């Protein structure tokens, strides 16, 4: 009943569904960053829209987690939520096509060292290809996937104390659940991948008094071996690492720029 093959479309349809859902989650973050009062947190960052997937992901988690904890959800509701996210993704595609500006893209391109920019793009593209691969991690298949499918069907977290691995599942697995609701297994992986886009505004916004490219630390992180493990797994590790990095960057560099009364 809970076999992964029963909740997955044939490739590449499964990956395409996940990509559109990721765009829907990104759209939620984009709207939040640009059209709500929360934008005060991002004003000091350059290229702030790269935070959109991270912000959208946390909005989804914070919105669903309380209801899931109380057992107020079911499979039909999960499918409905996933469909709404999918529709938002389609809307975002048309929005991006309408707002595409080649001149702005070329201006940004000229700001950086060409070799560093090409290498960064290659790393991002390679990690994207890795993220749209099927789930192959043994521990993810044995616990995160099986438990997520069980939650999808039951609408609540497992309370079986005889199965310790089921008790380790938390809010980050919501994306695995939502993916399986539309028969896509790549959504969890792609969310981990999209979260690393936050590296760009975090490091490109640092005031640099040394003659060194701001993309060098980004390249250092993207080329580290642990990225292969983290991006190829639906386990929500990279998502929370990027969330912590954003908070650390904000506190260290930009908190003093905000009026205390407005910030509160």
Say if CB 181 and CB 70 are below 8 A apart.
no
Q: C-alpha angle 95/117/119, rounded to 5°?
A: 115
Cβ–Cβ under 8 Å, residues 27 and 85: no
pLDDT of residue 196: 95
Angle at alpha carbon of residue 147, lines to 144 and 151, rounded to 5°: 130
Full domain range(s) for residue 70: 4-263
- Per-residue pLDDT 10s for the chain (264 aa) are 567 778 888 888 999 999 999 999 999 999 999 999 888 889 889 899 999 999 999 999 999 999 988 888 899 999 999 999 999 999 999 999 988 877 667 776 677 778 888 899 999 999 999 999 888 888 888 778 888 888 888 888 776 666 666 666 777 889 999 999 999 999 999 999 999 999 999 998 887 655 567 888 899 999 998 899 889 888 888 999 999 999 998 888 877 766 666 655
DSSP string computed for the chain: ---GGGG-PPTTHHHHHHHHHHHHHHHHHHHHHHHSGGGGGTTTSTTGGGGHHHHHHHHHHHHHHHHHHTT---HHHHHHHHHHHHHHHHHHHHHHHHH--HHHHHHHHHTS-HHHHHHHHHHHHHHHHHHTSPP--HHIIIIIIHHHHHHHHHSS----TT-GGGGG--GGGHHHHHHHHTT-SSHHHHHHHHHGGGHHHHHHTS---SSS-THHHHHHHHTSTHHHHHHT--STHHHHHHHHHHHHHHHHHTGGGS-HHHH-
Q: Is the separation of the CB atoms in 92 and 24 below 8 Å?
A: yes
Taking the C-alpha atoms of residue 258 and residue 264, their distance in angstroms, rounded to an integer, is 10
Query: Given this model, what pLDDT does residue 214 score?
Result: 80
Per the rule left: phi > 0, alpha: psi between -120 and 50, beta: everything else, 155 is left
Per-residue confidence (pLDDT) for residue 212, from 0 to 100: 65
Return the pLDDT at 205. Answer: 86
- Our count of domains for the chain comes to 1
């Amino acid at each position: 009943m809970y076999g992964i093959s029963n909740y997955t479309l044939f490739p590449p349809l499964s990956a395409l569904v996940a990509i559109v859902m990721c765009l829907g989650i990104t759209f939620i973050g984009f709207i939040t960053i640009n059209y709500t009062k929360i934008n005060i947190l991002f004003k000091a960052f350059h290229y702030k829209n790269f935070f959109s997937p991270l912000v959208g992901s946390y909005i989804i988690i914070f919105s669903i987690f309380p209801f899931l904890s109380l057992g107020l959800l079911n499979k039909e509701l999960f499918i409905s939520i996933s469909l709404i996210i999918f529709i938002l993704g389609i809307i975002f595609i048309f929005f991006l096509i309408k707002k595409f500006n080649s001149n702005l893209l070329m201006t940004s391109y000229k700001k950086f060292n060409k070799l560093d920019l090409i290498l960064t793009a290659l790393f991002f593209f390679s990690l994207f290809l890795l993220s749209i691969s099927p789930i192959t991690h043994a521990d993810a298949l044995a616990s995160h996937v099986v438990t997520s499918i069980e939650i999808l069907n039951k609408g609540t977290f497992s309370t079986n104390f005889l199965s310790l691995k089921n008790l380790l599942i938390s809010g980050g697995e919501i994306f695995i659940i939502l993916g399986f609701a539309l028969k896509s297994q790549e959504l969890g992986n792609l969310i981990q991948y999209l979260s690393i886009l936050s590296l760009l505004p975090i490091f490109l916004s640092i005031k640099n008094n040394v003659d060194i490219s701001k993309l060098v630390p980004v390249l250092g992180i993207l080329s580290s071996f642990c990225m292969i493990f983290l991006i190829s797994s639906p386990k929500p590790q990279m998502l929370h690492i990027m969330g912590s990095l954003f908070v650390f960057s904000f506190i260290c560099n930009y908190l003093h720029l905000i009026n205390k009364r407005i910030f509160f």
